[in-house]
Structures are given as C-alpha cells and as structure tokens.
Amino acid sequence: MHTTSVRAAGVLLTTLLAAPLMAAAQTAPAPSAERSRTEGIKETERFVKAGNHAHESIANAHHETKHTLDMYNNLVTQPSKNMKSDYKKLLGAVDDMKEEVAAARLEITNMRTHADTYFNGREATNKTIQDKALQSSAAARLAASRKDFDAALESLRASGDALEAFEKNLADQIKFLESDLTPTAMTALKPAADKLNAQGTDALGKVETANAGLRAYLDGLKAPKS
C-alpha cells in the first residue's frame, strides 16, 4: 500500500514537472519561415501597383489645379460677364482641387509603405546570397535603387510644397473677393493675380516633372513581358 502511494506520488510529481515544459514547447514561437522564391516578385508588383495609383492620383491633382487656375483667370484676369457665377465656379474648382490633392497625398503615403516592404525584402534576400562578390553587387544595386526612389520622393515633396503655397495664396485672394465682387476689386487685385499665375504655373511644372520622374522610376522596376 505504501509502495503504491510512493509510485503514485512519483507519477504525479513527474506530470507536474513535465507540464511547464510541454506548455513552453507549445507556446515557443515557431522559427521564421524562409522567404519564398517568388516573394520578391510579389513585393515588387505590389510596390509598382501602389506607385501607379499614386502616379494617376498626382496627375488628377495636376489636372484639377490647372482647372482651378483657369477658373480663377476667368473671374479675375479676363472680363467676367457674370462675376457671381464665375466666383461660384471657382469655389467648386477649389474644392475639387483640394480633394484630389488630399487623395494624392494618401496614395503617396501608401506607396511609401509598399516601398519599405519592397526594400526590406530585397535586402533580406540579398543577405542570403552566398557568393560575396555577387552579394556586394546586389547590395550596391539596392542602394542605388533606394537613392533613386528617395530622389523621386524629394521631387514630389518639393512640388507639394509649391502647390501648398499656391493654395494659400489663392485662398487669400478668394477671401479678398468674397465681399467685394466688383470690377474695381479685380483691378486692385491685378498685381497679386500676376504673382498667383506665376506661382501656379511654377507649381504645375514642378508637379508634372516630379510625376514624370516617378513614372520613370516605376517603369525601371517592371520585369519585361514578351
């Protein structure tokens, strides 16, 4: 009887000691899976797709900004036959422009997220290359690609700053006209109108150039198809 109790206690003790070990084995994180041989291709495609959306959205913002400047000139720099109607058209164009610019900023942010995934994945793959010379070449190409993308982003940032300055100037002039929608107000506004047109033309040029640079970079990432 005593022997049976000792054995039972031994079994119980063994079970209690084994339980934490089993639990630890069950909760231990699984080793990270190796990247599949097509993961880099998928990451590149997702990056390029996000970039295409950004490029298209930037083009839309450029179009609406140009339209807004045209509506402004219809009211201010050209003899308007119906100032009230042209003023309302300008307000509508401004709203559309702001909407498209905001959408473009969101698409650029999304593109940058996919770019981070792409560059990090590419770097991880490069580190698995056994041949040192080949690994070094891959690292150099990755660094060059990062640099080119950073340059494209910097160009977009500069064009965005120019666009923002144009929007602020335009908003001030709209406020100027809000309660003084008269021919003499248009005359008084002429020096500021000339400045706004130059500013708008400059901003549009920067946006167009930046978007062309982005397009060229994205096209360089695409795998040729026969």
Would 132 be classed as within a structural domain?
Answer: yes
Structure tokens, 164: 């923002």
Q: How many domains does the chain have?
A: 1
Would 116 be classed as within a structural domain?
Answer: yes
Q: In this predicted structure, what is the pLDDT of residue 225?
A: 78
Three-state SS string over the chain comes to CHHHHHHHHHHHHHHHHHHHHHHHHHHCCCCCCCCCCCHHHHHHHHHHHHHHHHHHHHHHHHHHHHHHHHHHHHHCCCCCCCHHHHHHHHHHHHHHHHHHHHHHHHHHHHHHHHHHHHHHHHHHHHCCCCCHHHHHHHHHHHHHHHHHHHHHHHHHHHHHHHHHHHHHHHHHHHHHHHCCCCHHHHHHCHHHHHHHHHHHHHHHHHHHHHHHHHHHHHHCCCCCCC
Structure tokens, 141: 């190409």
- Tens-digit pLDDT string for the chain (226 aa): 444 444 544 444 344 344 443 443 444 444 445 678 889 899 999 999 999 999 999 999 999 999 999 999 999 988 788 999 999 999 999 999 999 999 999 999 999 999 999 999 999 999 999 999 999 999 999 999 999 999 999 999 999 999 999 999 999 999 999 999 999 999 999 999 999 999 999 999 999 999 999 999 999 998 887 6
Would 93 be classed as within a structural domain?
Answer: yes
Residue type, 39: E
Q: Which domain holds residue 61?
A: 36-219
Give the integer Cα–Cα distance in Å for 99 and 17.
64
CATH number for 173: 1.20.58
Q: What is the pLDDT of residues 27-49, one digit of tens each?
A: 444 444 567 888 989 999 999 99
CB atoms within 10 A of CB 87: 19
Give the integer Cα–Cα distance in Å for 90 and 211.
25
Would 178 be classed as within a structural domain?
Answer: yes
Look up the pTM and report it: 0.82
- The residue length of the chain stands at 226
Would 170 be classed as within a structural domain?
Answer: yes
Would 8 be classed as within a structural domain?
Answer: no
Would 76 be classed as within a structural domain?
Answer: yes
